Every structure is written in structure tokens, then in C-alpha cells.
Structure 1
Amino acid sequence: MSATEIASHRGGAFLWPENSLLAFRHAVSWDAEQLEFDVHMSADGEPVVIHDSTLDRTTDGSGTIAEWTWEALRRVRLRGTGGETVPHLRDAGAIIAPSPQRLRMEIKADSNGRPYPGLVRRCAEVLDQSGLRARTVMMSFEASSVAEAVALGGFEQYVLLIETRPMRALRPADAIALCRSCGATELGVHEAVADRALLDALRAAGLRLSVWGANHAESMARALTIGVDVLATDDPPLALEMRQRAISLR
């Protein structure tokens, strides 16, 4: 069985400002297999790398991403970066492309919880400009966005993300059915709801399991012991260290 892959969540948010080019430049220097980031859509249809649907928490701007054109957004500064601005998807791709890492891209919903019309296709177009679509794991909490990506084709994996509360109410068979309904090849859940029974059921169905939220030694150890396919963490150096330690003890 292959070792669990490590993904730098938002570029390694415990260590550097999340979803920043500063974080991505550091993240590609580690031996993680994937670099995770989030994408929203500007008013003029451009894919913008940022976690929240609003600018307020992480930048010196305010309001929703969807209210700003890309020309305006590209001048909004990210807090803690020394003046760096909000990245475009192509900027993230340019940093990751020369590395052996793959892109782990979460396509977000807007401030009303609705998928952005055209965002999946626009992301694919931008990735294709650098030949990166096949190196990109596409993720979303929105089943319709996953299905749209599946219809376009060409991505490495298609991940349906499910929040913790609804996941607790689902049997493994229910989660598998949801993945099947949108064409997902992987289920992504918070590490707290992952267990061996879920992993075994997914594997038997030909699906993968990934987790987020494993940000401390205890939760990382649990995810590694379960043997999930991908562990997305805010502290990639610690996860890499713990994975190596676990491998050496086998």
C-alpha cells in the first residue's frame, strides 16, 4: 500500500499567510506531494486564489470577491506578506509547475453558498494554458461543481468534500452513493470523522479517502494509522516528519 500523501493546506497556513504566493514558494520546497488552495471568481469571471468569499479577514480590502473585478483585486494586499497581493490561479500554477508537486484546487461557492457559473470551466482553461489540468486534483463541497469538472474531464482526481455534521449522519454506503452521483473519485472529510471502516468501504468501491483538519501530532498520527490516501494539513513539515517516522517503524 502506498504511503499517505501530504498536501500543504492553503500552502501551510500554520507557517505562512494562507493562500499566498509567499506560502506557495515555501511549500514547494518541502517533500509534500500536493499543494492545496482555494478558488473564488471575480466579477469579470477570473479565478482568484483565496479561501473566504469576502476580502475582510485576510486582506486590506472588504466586500465579496464577486463584487470586485480582477483588475481591482490584483491590487488588494494580503496581510502578513509584506505587500503581496491576492493571486490569480495562473500565479499559483506558475510557482507549482516547476516542482514535482500537484495542485489540489478547491473550487468554492459564492457568499450565498451557490456555485459560481462558469468557474469550473474557467479554471480548466487557465490550467490548460500551462498544461496543468492533468496535475490538478479538483475538489468541491458542491456536487454540481464536481459533476461539471467530471464532464469536462482531464483532471487527476475529482473530490467530493462533505462537512463534518452531515458526514456523521451518513453510512459509508451513503457517502459512496453521493460520490457516484457526481462522478467523484475521492471523498474528502474532516479527519475527526475518518475511520478504517470508511476507508475500507471506499477502497472496495474503487474510491479514495482524503482528510483535512489534521494539524497536530495526535490527529496526524491517527490519519496516518488509518492509512488515508491524502492528509491535508496546515503544518506540512510536521506531517512529513511523522510520516517518515511511521514508515521507519514498519
Structure 2
Amino acid sequence: MPMAHRTLIASHRGGSYLWPENSLMAFRETAKLAVDQVEFDVQLSADDECVVIHDPMLDRTTDARGPVRGRTLAELRRIRLRGAHGECIPTLAEVVAVYRNSPILLRVEIKADAERIHYPGIGPRVLDVLEKEGALSRAAITSFQAPMVATIRDTGRFGGALIWLCAPQVWRDIGMAAVFGTALDCGASGVGIHHSLLNDDVLAAARAAGLSPGAWGLREESDIQRVLDLAVDVFTSDDPVTSLKLRG
């Protein structure tokens, strides 16, 4: 029997359970799926180019070490992603190009550096790339930093979904009401909550506050099924194939 509420599925980092995270390989494979969104992360190179990689450091996912911000784009081009058959870190423009003729929405997470400090000008630079590639109307922007969400709002250039991602420690420290208040204050239209914190009461409170509730951190089948049963608005999953099967 079909669900009354259709939860949207976002392929997290291009489906990091299935393919090398944030690689063009992963994004090309995700483009073949019936997912609603593709999620990925943006950092800045030393010469202020928007590049797609989750960590502020190169160590975990590439054959190099040190901060992403410490290398120019030309230098990053010579660094290989682990397990991606020789591919290098893609630029934001390259990822957008994969979905140029796709209905899949781009879920762009703007990252901070290793000290959790925003790269100077990264918000407007992300918008510049999206606008140049004709993708402003096909994107949602997310961040764990509420001031970054406010920065995007204050540019007056972006009319899509703005999502504040709430870390579990923040949720525990300030409580649900303050989380929703922070999201509204920074201009977010939605709030991303770790799936382990979600229940019917949390979803109802978020919607009552005028926020679209989403979930992140989904990997295991049992967790994916629980979130689907809760009928969140959207969730990011490292296993989009299983997520689609479970949604039916």
C-alpha cells in the first residue's frame, strides 16, 4: 500500500556506501538512480576555487596529506581520490555538470575549515558557480553553521531551500525549542536532524514551527526503514539503492 507521504531521498556524498564518496564516479552512478537529490560537500582551495570534498583535510580520502585549503586547484588536480580509479577531487562546476540534464536536485553542503571557521567568501562563491552553471533554481543549500545559512539568506540571491544541519551535541546542549528557534532566526526553511533523535513528537514540533524536518546519518537498513515509517520530509543516505527499494 503506498505511503500517504512521499519522503524524498538524497544520495549522501554520492552514495558513499556504494562508491568512493564525493567522486565523479559516485555522482555519475547516482545520476542513474531515481533519487530526488544528491548531497555533496564544498571546500575552498588555496586559490578560492570551490572543490567537492567532505573533510577539510586530504588525509582520509586521498593519497595526500594536509589541508585542502593549502593547495591550489592545479595542485589538487594531481592528487588522487582513494578507490576512484585515478580520479581527482572534482570541482563544484564539474559535479553540477553531471546533473545538467537531470531532475535530481543538488543538495550542497557548505563546509568550514579544520577549526570550524568559514572560508572567507565561500557562500557567495558557491552561489557564483551555481548561477554560472544555471543551477541556482535546482539547488538546496545546507550547513552545520547557522551563520553560514544566514549569510546565504542575506545575499538575497538564493530562493531555494536553506537547511540548518543540527549536530547531536548541539541538540543535547540547547534543546529542541532552541534548535528550532535558531533555524528560524538564521533564515532556514528546514532543519536536518540526526536520525537517532527523531520521533513523531519531534517531527510534529518542527512542522508546527514552520520548518521542514529532515534526517541525516542514514546507513543501515533498519534505520532507513524507521525514518521512512516516520515520514520525514527528506533524508540523506549513504546507501541510496537500498533506500529506494525500501521506499518502493
TM-score by length of structure 1 reads: 0.95
Question: 1:180 & 1:117 partners in 2: Cα distance?
Answer: 24
Deviations 1:168-200 (A, max 9, x none): 344432121011111011101110011111111
User: 2:33: which partner in 1?
Assistant: 30
Kindly state the Cα deviation for residue 75 of structure 1 after the two structures are TM-superposed: 2.1
Equivalent residue letter for 1:38:
D
User: Among 85, 89, 101, which residue is 2:88 paired with?
Assistant: 85
Matches within 5 A, 1:1-250: 2-152=5-155, 153-244=157-248
Deviations 1:27-50 (A, max 9, x none): 010000000000111111111100
Identical positions, percent: 41
- Does the 8 A contact of 1:120 with 1:149 survive in 2? yes
Q: Secondary structure at the match of 1:239?
A: helix
- Does the 8 A contact of 1:136 with 1:155 survive in 2? no
- Does the 8 A contact of 1:135 with 1:155 survive in 2? no
Please list every run of 5 or more consecutive structure 1 residues that lacks an aligned counterpart in the other structure.
Answer: 245-250
Please list every run of 5 or more consecutive structure 2 residues that lacks an aligned counterpart in the other structure.
Answer: none
Kindly state the Cα deviation for residue 155 of structure 1 after the two structures are TM-superposed: 4.2
Question: 1:241 & 1:169 partners in 2: Cα distance?
Answer: 36
Question: 2:159 & 2:130 partners in 1: Cα distance?
Answer: 10
Q: Secondary structure at the match of 1:86?
A: coil
Question: 1:95 & 1:223 partners in 2: Cα distance?
Answer: 29
Question: 2:222 & 2:174 partners in 1: Cα distance?
Answer: 25
Question: 2:79 & 2:243 partners in 1: Cα distance?
Answer: 32
Kindly state the Cα deviation for residue 86 of structure 1 after the two structures are TM-superposed: 0.5
Kindly state the Cα deviation for residue 165 of structure 1 after the two structures are TM-superposed: 2.0
Deviations 1:103-151 (A, max 9, x none): 0111011011101110010000001011111211100011111001111
Aligned residues: 244
Equivalent residue letter for 1:109:
A
User: 1:247: which partner in 2?
Assistant: none
